[in-house]
Amino acid sequence: MRFERMEDMERIRKTITNPAIYPHVSDDGSPTAQEFQPIEHPAIIYLGVYEADEFGGMFMFAPSSTACYEVHTCLLPSFWGFKAVEAACGAAKWIWQNTPCKRITTSVPVNNRLALKLARNAGFVEWGRNEKSWLKDGVMNDQICLGLNFPVAECL
């Protein structure tokens, strides 16, 4: 797999709003997929993942401090399963090699079992729970907080 920083905001928007992705990354306060516009800021890294010439989706990394970045995963269905774990591990290594990041965090709504499984399989460790912090379909859900420190052991 290879990883490349993405700057094409329309491709980023189309990836995030893909019908297989957007329902899982948007909440009740999000705009419709047609109205959604990604944040364009020099500190935010949109990292595309490719296998040969196939685009598999992307990771969005937003720094919460110099050493800690929050990741959001937007992988297309062709990269779900084992490829997703490989992509998540590779993206973490890319971030550590190309930024001052030393810790990656993510928050996964409890009802998104596949995202939680991916995070754990990629080596993320649960460190807490943000109670009743995700409003989806009128229901307040907890988010599980996970983190990955540099250096990391090989992904599971």
How large a percentage of the chain has pLDDT more than 90? 96
Domain ranges of the chain: 2-149
CB neighbours of 36 closer than 8 A, spacing ≥ 6? 13, 16, 17, 22, 26, 30
Q: Inform me whether the pLDDT recorded for 90 exceeds 90.
A: yes
Q: Inform me whether the pLDDT recorded for 148 exceeds 60.
A: yes
CB neighbours of 42 closer than 8 A, spacing ≥ 6? none
Pairing of strands 54-63, 139-149: unpaired
Whole-angstrom Cα distance, residue 82 to residue 65? 30
Whole-angstrom Cα distance, residue 30 to residue 36? 8
How high is the pLDDT of residue 151? 74
Copy the structure tokens of residue 9. Answer: 């905001």
Whole-angstrom Cα distance, residue 72 to residue 123? 15
pTM, 2 dp: 0.93
| CATH number of the domain located at residue range(s) 2-149 in this protein | 3.40.630.30
pLDDT tens digits, 13-46: 999 999 999 999 999 999 999 999 999 999 999 9
Q: What count of residues does the chain have? A: 156
Whole-angstrom Cα distance, residue 103 to residue 63? 10
How high is the pLDDT of residue 156? 44
